[in-house]
A and B are shown apart, each in its own frame.
Chain A
C-alpha cells in the first residue's frame, strides 16, 4: 500500500476547507473511492448551495492529475510511494 498525497485546489479547496490530505491506497481506483467517500458528498452539497448541480462522483466533474498529468491519459492504475493526486474544478471560461 502506497502513501500518497491528495491536494485540492481553487474552488474545491475553498468548498472543502482542505488543502492537502495523506491517503493510503494500492491503486488509483482505491484512492479515488476513498476521496469520493471522504469528500464527495460535502463537495456536492457545497456546490448545490451555490446553485451548481453536478452528477456522479468527484472524478466525473473534476480535473484530476496524477503527478502533473491527467488521469485520462494514464494506462496504468498502480500507485507508488509519494505520488500526488491533484484535484480541481474544470475552469474553461475566457
Chain B
C-alpha cells in the first residue's frame, strides 16, 4: 500500500472549517486519522504528517498552526524530545509536548510518585502513588495524543548512561532536581550536539536558559557541579503548585522555537521569573 492510498483516504476524510473571519481551512478529525491508521496500518503520526503536507490540518493542531504554521507542525511531529525527570517541571513539560504534537518523547526517571508530589507534579494522582513517574507520564501522553509515541527509561541519568539515553533526541529538556545530574546532561548534550533547555525552581521563583553546544552554559551560572550543594534553597522554601508550570511552560516554548526555527531561543541569557514580586529579569551570560 503506497502513500498515495493514504493521501486519497485523507482527501476523502477532509472537512472545511470556516473561521470566524470567513477564512476556510481544510481539516481532518481525530476519528478520521484513527480510522485511516487502523485501515492502512502504521502510525497515526505518519497520517497526520501526510495530511499536513497536503495542506490539511488535523483539528487538534488548528490552534497551533497560527503561530508555527503547517510546516512547523510537521517539524514537531517529526521530532524527538528527551525529558530528564518526570516530576514538577518534567511532568508539565511532557503534558505540553504531547498537546503540542511532538512526535516522540523520551522520558527518563527512576522515581515513583509519593504524596508530597501531589501539590505540583501534574502527572501524580491519589490513585497512582507508588507508580513509576515515567510509566505514568507515558500513559498520559498516549491518552492525550495517540499520534505521539513515548519511550521510557526507568533509570537515573548519570555521566555513564547519559549518551545512551539522550542520543536520539533533537532537544533535551531539564526536569531534574539536582545540580550534578544537570551537569551530566549538559556535558552529554554538548558531546552529542543537542540543545539543552535548562530550568530550575524554588519557592515562587524560577529560571531558565537554552544551551546550544557552543553556548555559555551551566558553569556560567553555577561554577562547577562540585562547588555547590546538590540542591538549593528550594529544599527549605519548597515548590508551590504553580511554580513548576510557570517555568515548564516557558521551557516548552523554547523547545518549539528550537525545532521550528521560529522566534529567538533564550541562548546565552538566564531568564529569571519572580512571581512574588511580578518581575522578569534577563541576565546575559558570558563565557569566561
- Using a CB–CB distance below 8 Å, which chain A residues touch chain B? 9-11, 13-14, 50-52, 63, 65, 67-74, 86, 88-94
Contacts and interface: CB of A to CB of B under 8 A. Distances in A.
Contacts of B203: 11, 91
Interface of B: 85, 87-90, 174-179, 182, 199-203, 205-207, 216, 219-224, 227-237, 239, 244, 272, 274, 276-277, 279, 281, 283-288
Nearest to B236: A52
A5 to B, nearest CB: 13
B233 A52 contact: yes
The 9 closest A-B pairs by CB, nearest first: A72-B223, A93-B234, A91-B202, A90-B232, A92-B232, A94-B177, A68-B286, A73-B288, A52-B236
B222 A70 contact: yes
B220 A92 contact: no
A71 B88 CA distance: 30
A87 to B, nearest CB: 11
Contacts of A50: 236-237
Nearest to A76: B288
A69 B220 contact: yes
B67 to A, nearest CB: 27
Contact of B276 (A14, A52, A67, A70): A14
Contacts of A89: 202, 205, 232-233
B85 to A, nearest CB: 6
Nearest to A62: B233
Given A92-B177, A94-B200, 11 more contacts: A14-B274, A52-B237, A65-B283, A67-B286, A68-B286, A91-B200, A92-B178, A92-B231, A92-B234, A93-B200, A93-B235
B193 to A, nearest CB: 23
A14 B239 CA distance: 17
Nearest to B207: A91
B219 A70 contact: yes
Contacts of B85: 94
Contact of B202 (A51, A72, A92): A92
Contacts of B277: 13-14
Q: Indicate the member of B85, B202, B227, B230 with the most A CB atoms within 10 Å.
A: B202
A10 B243 CA distance: 13
A64 to B, nearest CB: 9
B216 A69 contact: yes
Contacts of B284: 68
7 contacts: A52-B236, A68-B216, A70-B288, A72-B223, A89-B232, A93-B232, A94-B176
A66 B79 CA distance: 37
A70 B274 contact: no
Given A10-B272, A68-B216, A74-B288, A91 B176 contact: no
A94 B88 contact: yes
Contacts of A11: 202-203, 205, 233, 237, 274, 276
A88 B244 contact: no
A7 to B, nearest CB: 8
Nearest to A61: B233
Contacts of A63: 221-222, 228
A37 to B, nearest CB: 22
A49 B57 CA distance: 55
Contacts of B178: 92
Nearest to A67: B286
A14 to B, nearest CB: 6
